[in-house]
């Protein structure tokens, strides 16, 4: 306890954490819109589709059946069985419900893993660009995030050589996200195998966040990190959920697949913090996993078309480059050629100023790349309709051309 703090003064740890910038920009765009401003938002981190009807029906049936009580902390058995079956089909070995913990969203699953595996002083390697939450969660475990950069030229993917070079005696964990938020990068089998070999050699735990795995384009394969090499499953925690694949962001349902000792530790943490994920949501999740997957396939077709449209329009803007995203629903163009120019509010010193200019003067909400460890880039979500993509990109082109 700090002797100098009195009353409701906040603790040091929480004060060292930034609130999620993506959520705040989405909220700002929403409030500008509500106040009557004409805003096109490319900041969304969620599908613009509604949850499929059969999933909603399952939730209604659960309510009517009185499934409104406490459930086991780790989730209802049938749902854990369904997750174990899914990952057995995907090539993981000897799975049962004991390997699965259901949580209130993949973010919560990731939080549980960082809390139970990391100690103060441990280092966790995070390839950049990264999802904003990873460094914050590592810091919340009082551990140290170590970033390994990548470039647009190599498709924003960390190489095994760069990974190896970042390892120290304190390295404990690697967080890998494929398809990636914000870049849309999807690792190939060979790239992952090279990274896997380094993990095995140094016995580094891997947090494999595959929340966008149903959204992979261009015929690239969906891969399970845990299956790539013998012994790798003992080092890997697979985190996934239904938010993106089944348009269920608000339902809050994520899960992890891990060796039982890790699952038990996360269960212990949840037992003293959140208890079970919402009971009704779990029955909806069961319907999502076991029911018709056509809505997911249909969503992917729309996303793929919008992806191509957005990339084409971005590449047509002078001073903008854009690596082809192969998964998720984001593009991550590089706009650094426009930094240092002057707009209506003064010099555009960095990507934050650029996104402010685009929001304030052009009515387009985007997320600055610096939030993801990539200053000079900007994240645009194409989880919106084609007309908005066309209109929004025309505004961006105009807004950039206006800079002198």
Ligand X SMILES: Cc1ncc(COP(=O)(O)O)c(C=O)c1O
User: Site residues (CB under 6 A) for ligand X?
Assistant: 45, 105-107, 131, 177, 181, 209, 211, 241, 243, 249, 254
CB of 286 to ligand X, least distance (A): 16
Nearer to ligand X (CB atom), residue 111 or residue 283: 111
Sheet holding 367-368, edge to edge: 330-331, 378-381, 367-368
Nearer to ligand X (CB atom), residue 181 or residue 384: 181
CB of 341 to ligand X, least distance (A): 31
Nearer to ligand X (CB atom), residue 137 or residue 336: 137
Contact 286, 255 (CB under 8 A): no
Nearer to ligand X (CB atom), residue 171 or residue 181: 181
CA angle 202, 327, 298 (to 5 degrees): 135
Cα–Cα distance, 350 to 348 (Å, whole number)? 6
CB of 181 to ligand X, least distance (A): 4
Q: In the chain, how many H helices and how many E strands?
A: 13, 14
Nearer to ligand X (CB atom), residue 374 or residue 400: 374
The CA R_g of the chain, rounded to the nearest whole Å, is 21
CB of 255 to ligand X, least distance (A): 9
CB of 22 to ligand X, least distance (A): 7
Contact 187, 217 (CB under 8 A): no
Contact 129, 373 (CB under 8 A): yes
Within 10 angstroms of residue 64's Cβ, the number of other Cβ atoms is 8
Give the residue from 151, 50, 220 showing the smallest Cα distance to 369.
151
CB of 207 to ligand X, least distance (A): 10
Cα–Cα distance, 24 to 6 (Å, whole number)? 29
Residue nearest to ligand X (CB): 105
* Stretch (H or E) spanning 198: helix 189-202
Nearer to ligand X (CB atom), residue 233 or residue 243: 243
Contact 324, 311 (CB under 8 A): yes
Cα–Cα distance, 170 to 120 (Å, whole number)? 10
CB of 366 to ligand X, least distance (A): 16
Give the residue from 64, 67, 166, 69 showing the smallest Cα distance to 123.
166
Cα–Cα distance, 134 to 247 (Å, whole number)? 22
CB of 39 to ligand X, least distance (A): 20
């Amino acid at each position: 306890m700090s002797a100098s703090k009195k009353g409701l003064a906040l603790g040091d740890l929480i004060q060292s954490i930034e609130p999620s910038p993506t959520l705040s920009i989405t909220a700002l765009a929403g409030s500008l819109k509500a106040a009557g401003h004409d805003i096109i938002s490319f900041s969304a981190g969620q599908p613009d589709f509604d949850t499929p009807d059969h999933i909603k029906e399952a939730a209604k049936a659960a309510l009517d059946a009185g499934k409104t009580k406490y459930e086991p902390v780790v989730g209802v058995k049938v749902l854990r069985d369904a997750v174990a079956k899914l990952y057995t089909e995907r090539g993981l070995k000897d799975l049962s419900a004991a390997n699965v913990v259901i949580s209130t969203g993949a973010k919560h699953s990731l939080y549980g893993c960082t809390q139970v595996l990391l100690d103060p002083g441990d280092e966790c390697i995070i390839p950049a660009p990264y999802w904003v939450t990873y460094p914050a969660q590592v810091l919340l475990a009082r551990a140290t995030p170590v970033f390994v950069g990548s470039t647009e030229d190599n498709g924003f993917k960390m190489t095994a050589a760069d990974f190896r070079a970042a390892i120290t005696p304190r390295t404990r964990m690697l967080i890998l996200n494929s398809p990636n938020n914000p870049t849309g990068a999807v690792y190939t089998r060979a790239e992952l195998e090279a990274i896997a070999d380094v993990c095995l050699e140094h016995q580094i735990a891997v947090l494999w966040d595959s929340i966008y795995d149903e959204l992979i384009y261009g015929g690239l394969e969906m891969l399970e990190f845990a299956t790539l090499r013998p012994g790798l499953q003992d080092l890997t925690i697979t985190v996934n959920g239904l938010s993106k694949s089944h348009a269920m962001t608000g339902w809050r349902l994520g899960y992890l697949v891990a060796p039982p000792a890790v699952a038990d530790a996360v269960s212990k943490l949840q037992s003293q913090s959140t208890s079970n994920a919402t009971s009704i949501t779990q029955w909806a999740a069961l319907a999502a996993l076991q029911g018709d997957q056509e809505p997911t396939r249909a969503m992917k077709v729309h996303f793929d078309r919008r992806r191509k449209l957005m990339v084409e329009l971005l590449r047509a803007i002078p001073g903008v480059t854009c690596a082809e995203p192969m998964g998720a629903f984001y593009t991550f163009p590089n706009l650094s050629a426009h930094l240092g120019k002057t707009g209506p509010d003064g010099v555009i010193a960095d990507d934050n100023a650029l996104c402010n200019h685009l929001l304030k003067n052009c009515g387009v909400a985007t997320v600055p790349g610096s939030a993801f460890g990539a200053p000079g880039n900007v994240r645009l979500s194409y989880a919106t309709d084609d007309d908005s993509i066309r209109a929004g990109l025309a505004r961006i082109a105009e807004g950039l051309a206006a800079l002198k």
